[in-house]
Each structure stands twice: as C-alpha cells, then as structure tokens.
Amino acid sequence: MTFRIGDRVGVRGHWNFPNCCIGTIAEPPEFAVQLVENCGPWDGVRRFVQGRKGTIEFYWVEFETPQNDGDGDGPYAAGEVEVEYITLKE
C-alpha cells in the first residue's frame, strides 16, 4: 500500500518505536532529508533503503502522542517508520 500526506495511520509497536500509536503521514522536515540522503533519498513522504534482505520502505509519521524509541530516547513528535508496521486508519 502507498500512503499519502494526511493519511491517518496506526503504527504497530516494533524495535524502533516499541509502543503502538496513531499518527499522520507527513512530509519529512529538511533536517531529516539531509541526514539520510546518503542512505536512500526521500521520494516525497517515503524512502527506500537497501537492506541485507532486500529493500526497506520507510514513511515519515507525525505521532499524535510523542513516542520514545527502543532505546528509551525521546519523546519524539515524529519519525520514519518501516511500512510493514503501518496500517491505514479509517
């Protein structure tokens, strides 16, 4: 599934953001675009990175409630999330 700016999504807890949460697909801020440009450039609201087992698709998500990451850092208002952990909310 391809998500668009403004789509309301659910994020299933996983290694990077361990708590399930709700968010909105958004355009990544300029600092995020510049930080990861060498790892796989952003294509609008998503980017593709070549991993050991294939291509990984990420989307930028603004969280309704700020989230801590898997290391306990945060809270973060937004972050990139692998598409396999995102579902469209009605």
Q: What's the pLDDT tens digit per position in 49-81?
A: 888 888 889 999 999 999 999 999 999 999 999
With bands split at pLDDT 50, 70 and 90, how would you rate the model's confidence at 41? confident
| In contact, 15 and 85? CB cutoff 8 Å | no
Find residue 23's DSSP bridge partners. 9, 63
**Cis before 75 (ω within 30):** yes
Q: pTM of the prediction? A: 0.89
With bands split at pLDDT 50, 70 and 90, how would you rate the model's confidence at 42? confident
Asked whether residue 67 is assigned to any structural domain, the reply reads no
Q: Per the structure, how many domains does the chain have?
A: 1
State the residue for tokens 């990544």: 28
Asked whether residue 85 is assigned to any structural domain, the reply reads no
Domain span at 35: 27-60
> Which has the higher per-residue pLDDT, 41 or 21?
21
Asked whether residue 39 is assigned to any structural domain, the reply reads yes
Segment 9-38, tens digit of pLDDT: 999 999 999 999 999 999 999 888 877 655
Q: Are strands 54-67 and 46-51 parallel, antiparallel or unpaired?
A: antiparallel
Asked whether residue 43 is assigned to any structural domain, the reply reads yes
Asked whether residue 51 is assigned to any structural domain, the reply reads yes
Asked whether residue 90 is assigned to any structural domain, the reply reads no
**Alpha carbons 22 and 12: distance in angstroms, whole number:** 9
